[in-house]
């Protein structure tokens, strides 16, 4: 298939691009960031099957319709993430996560693509009433990032209903793996911990560390995208999780090293845990990488975090202090 991956230089996007190329597909990568070293290696290896186009998806002048000519599958992963920045810049998050998604949908509709795959977020559930959390759970976005990602899904499914654009939306839970992004005080805890560990600093555990997360390994996520693309489903949304939920204390024990406990921050659920019954039945998908296996693979690549930003209790408190009132 001929594919577009928006946000293809990002964490999940880069893993997806590599998987598509390995499987023999052609990939056109759209991103506002320049390709990294790994992307250059892929370009040399796959040549004409791999094409990078630098563009801001929220800028109509940069997002050219010609990019979508002859495309079969569009994987829309581009977007802004992180809680605190979305509270500081809600208009920017709306422009990129909502308007940008509409522009990608419209270009896809005009091109007559065969399948649109949207990377949604489990943050749409807010703090759920039920664990594991099914897709039927109430939608309760608690900050602009969560809201804008959910609105992107609503638009995608609206295009499926009105324009018959084949759409599958995947609500991703706590994705981790080698080269997960390394920035943000509300970023993935694993990247924060590894940056601290690799630079000789204690790991900053928020709260008592007994809160749990549905850590989902990135290769399982890319597999879910492929299954969704290959399926006959033309309008659907699914949770993508690991089938379990693991405590922060379990994670720091595997990493090993000194730990400092800091006050719990508002806006964070005590648990995330996906009910993945629906995707198992509909797409014949299930996670393959256990938490212990995934952490082993991450630690084998831990040198990557040596140059990452290192957060301390003081810097975390300073970065989030002014926004607690909005998150509580």
Burial tier of 70 (Cβ tally within 10 Å: 0-12, 13-18, 19+): exposed
Is 145 marked active-site? yes
For the chain, where are the E strands, in sequence order?
2-6, 26-31, 50-54, 73-76, 115-121, 167-172, 175-176, 203-206, 212-213, 216-217, 235-240, 246-247, 259-262
Rounded to 5 degrees, what are φ and ψ at 70?
Answer: 75, 5
CA–CA gap between residue 25 and residue 83 (Å, rounded): 34
Which of 191, 183, 97, 102 has the alpha carbon at shortest distance from 141? 97
- From 46, 50, 125, 145, active-site residue: 145
Spatial contact of 35 and 52, defined as CB atoms under 8 Å apart: yes
Please list the active-site residues. Answer: 145
């Amino acid at each position: 298939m001929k594919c577009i991956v928006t946000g293809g230089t990002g964490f999940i996007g880069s893993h997806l691009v590599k998987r598509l190329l390995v499987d023999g597909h052609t990939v056109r990568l759209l991103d506002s960031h320049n390709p990294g070293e790994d992307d250059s290696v892929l370009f040399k290896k796959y040549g004409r099957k791999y094409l990078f186009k630098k563009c801001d998806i929220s800028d109509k002048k940069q997002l050219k319709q010609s990019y979508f000519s002859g495309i079969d599958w569009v994987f829309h992963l581009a977007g802004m993430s992180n809680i605190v920045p979305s509270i500081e810049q809600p208009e920017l998050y709306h422009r990129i996560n909502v308007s940008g998604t509409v522009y990608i949908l419209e270009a896809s509709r005009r091109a007559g693509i065969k399948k649109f795959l949207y990377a949604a977020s489990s943050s749409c559930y807010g703090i759920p009433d039920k664990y594991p959390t099914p897709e039927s759970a109430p939608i309760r976005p608690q900050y602009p990032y969560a809201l804008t990602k959910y609105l992107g899904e609503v638009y995608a499914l609206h295009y499926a209903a009105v324009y018959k654009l084949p759409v599958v939306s995947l609500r991703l839970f706590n994705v981790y793996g080698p080269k997960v992004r390394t920035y943000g005080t509300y970023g993935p805890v694993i990247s924060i911990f590894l940056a601290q560990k690799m630079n000789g600093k204690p790991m900053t555990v928020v709260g008592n560390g007994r809160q749990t997360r549905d850590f989902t390994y990135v290769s399982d996520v890319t597999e879910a995208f492929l299954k969704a693309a290959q399926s006959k489903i033309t309008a659907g949304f699914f949770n993508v999780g690991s089938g379990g939920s693991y405590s922060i204390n379990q994670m720091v024990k595997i990493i090993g090293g000194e730990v400092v406990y800091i006050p719990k921050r508002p806006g964070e659920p005590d648990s995330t845990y996906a009910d993945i019954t629906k995707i198992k039945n509909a797409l014949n998908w299930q996670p393959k990488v256990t938490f212990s296996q995934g952490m082993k693979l991450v630690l084998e690549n831990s040198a990557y975090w040596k140059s990452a930003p290192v957060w301390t209790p003081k810097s975390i408190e300073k970065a989030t202090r002014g926004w607690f009132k909005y998150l509580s």
